[in-house]
Structure 1
Amino acid sequence: MPATLLRPATWTLRSQVLASVLALFVIVMVTTGALTIGFTKHHLDDQLRDELNGAAGTTNSGPSRPGDLGLTPDGDGRPRGGPQQRNSSAVLRLVVVGGTSIGVDNNGDPIAYITAFGTSREALSDDQVATLVKVTKSLTANDQERVDLGDGTGSYLVAVSTSGTTRTIVGVPTGAVDRTLATLIQLVAGGTLLGLVIVGVGGNWVIRRNLAPLVRVADTARKVSALKLDTGEVALPARVADRDTDPHTEVGQVGLALNRMLDNVEGALQTRHESEMRVRQFVADASHELRTPLASIRGYAELSRRETDPVPANVSHAIGRVESEALRMQGLVEDLLLLARLDSGRPLEREPVDVTLLAMDVVSDAHAAAPDHRWELDLPDEPVEAPGDRARLHQVLANLLANARTHTPAGTTVVTRIRREGQHVRIDVADNGPGIPADLQPRVFERFTRGDDSRNRASGSTGLGLSIVAAVAGAHAGRVDLASEPGRTVFTVWLPSDGPHSSNPIPQTQ
């Protein structure tokens, strides 16, 4: 049995309510049955004691000698009953004379017998007589004791009366009382089991019916939870039906509160989307407008450097810095414009791209830019192709290698590995540098996120390189993952090999 089944806290609400109802039913039935059986037993025991007292009274009021009891032996020496015998039920009598000696009749037989209905007599065996004498030896006149005579005779409630040296033992059978109590216990147990089945089946139906509105509310919440709410224009069409929003019921109150919450969430998401669109539009417009003046600044800087007249060294240096920063700003503007276009969902070019050849070109460029690093390629025997925008995929690889070059010390080994895995192309860029701090990893693909000094940044960084990698991968219906620890950092880019509309799920990075 699963361990969760033993913990009621893990059960469904329906199971908990049904279990509570069944437990309460069992407690009520067991308590009621126990009280019924107890009162019935008490009443029957009182009747049995009254019957025994009546039988003992008859014996005490009659003669104490065997012959005086109206008993005469029949032809086989067994006692015969006289007019003193009770006619209502079987009565046991045993006369003990002289301490431990058992009284005998005229034929020398012990006077120990059971008479039923005043006519039928059954003599007791020697073992039964000995049992009676042993059990009742310490009884006083007010004591009563149950004695099981065995041999099919059954159990008797006995009492003792004493007259001189004669002790008379009188008993009445308890079989009728025992059978009545046994039947009553069976009825209570059977009724409890039958009621348990009826309450279980009926209760399950009633609980399911009454919890159906709550199930519908939960289905609505489940549908909303499956929606993609992090980006883009979000609409929440799912709402709890009007029949489940009655404020006079508990479930209706939950449904009404859920609808209000969804209205608030939808409004907040709409506001967020409108704000994002305004920011994206501003970035796109600003980036587009900045391209022209930046191009002019670069042009004038280059033109001034071609001047044939002597230019002071400090002026020449300043113009060089202006040109350098203009070039850097132009790269930043181009990155922002690219991100704005990707955010707006502008489609990319779709053509077969040889990813292995692309990796060879990018790694060659990286080697020329940073010869103090070790650049390695791990390519399959056959070319690997993926449909996409060649320029953008080139930028993905270039940004990953530039990130490794910028944030790792000289001598670091950077390995670019290309593999086909099922319906996807896997691109790994791994280095054995110091790694990315754990607190930075969750937001490393966010815009304007920069590594700290522990990554040994050698030059300025815009903080947009990895965000462009993530955006381009997403535009190709792919994904980029990160696994980093001191001594090993791996960026993994997944691209579908059958196009952006692939239905094959992207594997999880090990």
Structure 2
Amino acid sequence: MKFFDRYPLRVLLVAATVALVALGLIASSAAVTLTMRSQLIASEDAKLREAMNEWAATSPPPGPPSSLDGDPLSPEGPSRERPPSEYFIAVRTAAGDLVFVVDDNPSQPELPAKVNLSEPFELPDAEGGGSWRALADVDRQGNITVLAVPMSTTVDGTVTKLIQVQALVGLAVLIGVGTCAWLLVRRSLRPLQAVEQTAHQIADGNFDRRLPELSPRTEVGSLAQSFNWMAGSIESAFTATEASRHKAAASEERMRRFVADAGHELRTPLTSIIGFAELYRTKMLPDADVAFGRIEPEARRMQALVEDLLTLARLDTERPMSREPVDLTQVAADAVAGAHAIEPARRVELRLDAAPVLTGDGDKLRQVALNLVVNALRHAGEDANVTVTVTESVAASAPATHTASIGPAQRPGTPLAVLEVDDDGVGMPAEAAAKSFERFHRIDDSRNRSDSGGGSGLGLSIVAGIVQAHGGTVHLDTAPESGAHFRVELPVDSERPANEPF
């Protein structure tokens, strides 16, 4: 097998084809040649029998034999007419004496002492130049007549010419077959060259390369189909690996930023607490009520930040949430009531266009509504009005375009419970809106965090995490000086099993 491994497949296929055709030609030529030779010999045997029964049957006159060069010594031959020149005729007596010879050939056969009187036989040439086909008969006087014809001029010559013609024709056939086989194999294996080239391109990193579609009923077509499937699997695996790598890198980067921002956010209230405690300890701030009045807000701010961080950590671990029927109108009403408690002077309006009930975690959904309302109160501007709307909807087959969205697309026809929080404040540019759901993200200008009322940048991240845990989506539509419109779409999902976590 190592011998065949040294040569290309196309060379082996052409060589095998030519070899098989050559074997076939040799076998057929041998069969034709042997058949032709047998037919020629049978024909000569028939001629010998016919001659022996006709003109060669005449008994020769007594006397000395004729000369061996074909000139008879007796004026009469074995027949009344001159025999054909290609024949050799010899007559021997019963005692073995040669009494008559007619031979116009340049050579003569070597006569044996005994001959076969029943069937034709072959005799060697006296000079070793070939062979003779002979037939012997005995007359009434016991004389033996031997009639022979040279094989070289009757059988062997014809067979030789036949072999020559077969050789020339066979050579032409082999050249034609070899040429056609080479062209056919080259054309048939051309897709394999494409496979080789495509494989090299994929090895170089071009994973989107594919082979042209061919008929799967052919071996090459089936190979191309399998190759494309393999290339697609490799591309998918590589893409998934790259996506996982990028996702891991992005997650690691977010974690580093998260830890740094969390440390910064925790350090600010801790610094204030330590500062006021140090002032009170050194008697530089003797009034304890003033000191603790400054320490308590910072402690509460740190507590809120820690609670937000814990909420995000629980969302990251995808812990199962409690499941219960939740009235979204009550959730919105609680959020509006909480907003009035936080900012009594601000106008926060509640609109109830429907009363959807969904299955979910009521406390978490209240946190979503409250975070959105508080976000509007803090960042829309002091004179901005806030409107909370509860309605119902059905997921469309062609979702609308929004400034920013987070969460899975809803299946068309899915019943949705919708919570909307609008403000007519300063709005934000599209670049800032695209990052609004990132952790610790804060926008500048009027929406920048202040020491007195600003947030930590985690509120909308918590909203996004809770809504996604419920299988919902959050949309944001905003523009500078056009306010902000948050739309939370939650699938009603009333048929989900109660023990199935989100």
Question: Structure 2-normalised TM-score?
Answer: 0.42
> Larger C-alpha radius of gyration, 1 or 2?
2
Question: Structure 1-normalised TM-score?
Answer: 0.42
